[in-house]
Amino acid sequence: MECELSQLKVGFVGAGNMAYAVAEGLLKSGDISADNVTVSAPSDRNLPRFQALGARVSHSNTEVACASRLLFIAVKPHLVPTVLGQISPHVTRQHVVVSVAAGVTLATLEELLPDGVGVVRLMPNLPCVLQEGALLLARGSGAGPGVESLLKRLLAPCGLVEAGPEGWIDAHTGMSGSGVAFVYLFAEALADGGVKMGIPAALAQRIAAQTLLGAGLMLRDCGKPASVLRAEVCTPGGTTIHGLHALEKGGVRAAVMSAVEAATERARELGRK
């Protein structure tokens, strides 16, 4: 995209949490002006928060497509064909279309859009709303390396932004998109364990949250593999190794791997549909 970033017109078809998180990140980058952002949704329910960011809002997907050069498709996967059918006559080779719909392949997106349009699949996750997300993008044949560099720059305030082949997108969905819920389940169980051992529930929940936050920051920032950090917590005959043994007997490692596999396969199934 050759225009100055300060003049880049950005659109969002869909106004859910992921669209809001990405929009907020784009604006935090400082490169995009809020009055160059337009958002559409069928109802007013989610639009006021975009207005609070300074963005323009509309009920017309076509209006957003016409007003934008960088266009995010942030609707449920089963709605993508309908939405792209609406906007396709108004999309040109000057557009870059970024889909955040789980399972919808680049081939499907390119088939539903005019020839030569740059298409990107982007999979964010829920912590993007706190600018602590993990995002993976994959480019279609019409989107060059410059598009990848631009998106990495604009989305950096959302969290970690990486690029890779499309085959990684569904696995990222299973590991990081769905993985957020897996972590919440573990946090809930951790707090329940504290309650069982006599800690009040509210306090146990706060301690569990802080434990996960601290462990995650160490894993991200210390530069050591999880296996090394885990070993550093263990002392011979201590409390941690006894607890880890109980987790291994419960099959937690295999269960988590199976959960990622199941979520990934579901994302692939959505793509085939």
Residues flagged as binding site: 61, 74-77
What is the side-by-side order of every strand in the sheet holding 10-13? 56-58, 37-40, 10-13, 70-73, 96-99, 118-123, 133-139, 159-163
Q: Both tokens of residue 41? A: 């949704």
* C-beta atoms surrounding 111 within 10 Å: 11
Binding annotation for NADPH: 61
147 touches 118 (CB < 8 A): yes
Binding annotation for NADP(+): 74-77
With a CB cutoff of 8 Å and minimum separation 6, the contacts of 114 are: 88, 91, 92, 93
Radius of gyration for the alpha carbons in the chain, expressed in angstroms and rounded: 21
Backbone dihedral region of 128: left (phi > 0), alpha (psi from -120 to 50 degrees) or beta?
A: alpha
Distance of CA 174 to the CA centre of its chain: 11
φ and ψ at 209, to 5 degrees?
A: -60, -45
